[in-house]
Amino acid sequence: MAAAPVWSVDPRTGKQREQVAVEATGQEVDAAVRAARDARGALEDRTVRAAFLRTAADRLEAARDQLVEAADAETALGPVRLTGELARTCYQLRAFAGIVEEGAFLDVVINHPDDTATPPVPDLRRYKVPLGVVAVYSASNFPFAFSVAGGDTASALAAGCPVVVKAHPDHPALSELVAAVLRRAAAEHGIPDGVLGLVHGFAAGVELIKHPQVTAAGFTGSVRGGRALFDAAAARPVPIPFHGELGSLNPVLVTEAAAAERAEQIGSGLAGSMTLGVGQFCVKPGLVLAPQGAAGDRLVKSLTEAVSDTEAGVLLDHRMRDNFVAGVAERARLADVETPVTPGANGEHTVSAGFLTVPAGRLAQEGEYDLLLEECFGPVTVVARYEDEDEATAVLSRLPGNLTATVHLSAEEAAGEGRGPRVLAELTPLAGRVLVNGWPTGVAVAPAQHHGGPYPATTSTSTSVGGTAIERWLRPVVYQGAPAALLPAELRDDNPLGLPRRFDGRLER
């Protein structure tokens, strides 16, 4: 049977543009994984790894115009957004280069023998080593930052792990271009092409997660697709870590005092956040708890005006557009659900932003309104109007895990008075990032960042953004009683690599 062709598709028209590749066979997936495994040795030197990551960033920047043009043709996200995303991707690669050079991620801990301890302590030396070949599943909505050269790939390479990427079908041509740039960067440092494999096709993605030489996987996508791969990773004869980002509602709670203080500002800010990128951000606020009464009415009026002024947009593909239109219609048919600005189809290929309102009491108990507690990908949010604090708390108690949770407080509450501390305590169990008086769209690449959360936001407690993302692809190893001549350089007493470490209980920098 001939392999199926892989086409680049224009989301503005739904038409095929060009054939990019063919779907990978099982044999081709196997070859890509084996080539990646054979490239491990070329990543052992941290100096080489850091230089490779910096060169990759340089080469991506040099190819910016070509890459942005290809990305826009396949995603319709626009040159401004894509140029910024590419810059973020390059910054992320350089940030990991710095982390590799610093070496703190190795978590070096050395304990010399202590016969006076109970029980006695032998000579113990601990650090972290790379897992091996990492499978990366690209996201649709971030064709640079969460794709071939994105955070999963950058952090895995930084850890010393070669990567095989399963390209997203929404941007196959861009995936090929980016992979070629990274391979050229690798070649400049004597690293084989196999350090970054690329495969296309649904079946190839399934084969990849099952391959016995794949040691871990990173995924960004839907709950359904991510859960299927998560289960496959766990069902292997040798299960592997699966770090998946699956879905998030990203709730927002507006206190009555905050609404009374600045309803119009909150309404306009919400409009900007929920429609950013045509509502295709994983941290889009999908549920907003706002008070009943005059202050809440002012918020809804401000939101109505701002969303009404938002231009129609193109979603990443027609399947997503169909799901958005159908999902909005299904939600709008529920009793007591109103649409101050109706979201849905606008023309043959575009969609209009809008929002739904519903009494919060409808969401406080299990039933058909649970549909409103599920993510709807696109420019729509649900505003649940609550009567009192208890009703808002009842809705929050029913929410699944999220990437983010946001609260808007009054100045007095933000100073620690009234409801402020209680609300923060209610939101903390729900999400990996809790925001106060801000909006979740925008995930800074910073050492303290955490992009993850309780299931189904993610399948692990790790982050896919920020410096600690590297920890997903490492495992600790302890050497006990090993002669100095046999120790890796990282664990020697004289510290020839100048690594930060904990030496007999003392932190050395």
Q: Which sequence positions are flagged as catalytic?
A: 245, 282
First and final C-alpha spacing in the chain = 59
Per the CB < 8 A criterion, the answer to whether 76 and 316 are in contact is yes
Instruction: Report the run of H or E that residue 503 belongs to, with start and end.
Output: strand 501-503
Per the CB < 8 A criterion, the answer to whether 490 and 499 are in contact is yes
Alpha-carbon distance 201 to 235, whole Å? 21
Residues 6+ apart with CB under 8 A from 119: none
Strand-pair partners of 8: 18
Alpha-carbon distance 419 to 279, whole Å? 30
Give me 441's structure tokens.
């769209």
Cis ω before 379 (30° cut-off from 0)? no
Alpha-carbon distance 133 to 448, whole Å? 27
Q: What is the DSSP letter of 241?
A: -
Per the CB < 8 A criterion, the answer to whether 229 and 137 are in contact is yes
**Cβ atoms within 10 Å, residue 348:** 10
Per the CB < 8 A criterion, the answer to whether 195 and 163 are in contact is yes
Strand-pair partners of 307: none
Give me 181's structure tokens.
């740039």
What is the length of the chain?
Answer: 509
CA angle 225, 227, 233 (to 5 degrees): 105
Bridge pairing between strands 402-408 and 251-254? parallel
Alpha-carbon distance 60 to 412, whole Å? 47
User: Nearest to residue 218, comparing CAs of 241, 234, 195, 252?
Assistant: 241
Per the CB < 8 A criterion, the answer to whether 203 and 228 are in contact is no
Q: What is the DSSP letter of 25?
A: P
Bridge pairing between strands 501-503 and 474-480? unpaired
Spacing of C-alpha 41 from chain mean position: 28
Give me 126's structure tokens.
């601990």
User: Nearest to residue 85, comparing CAs of 168, 165, 1, 178?
Assistant: 178
Per the CB < 8 A criterion, the answer to whether 471 and 129 are in contact is no
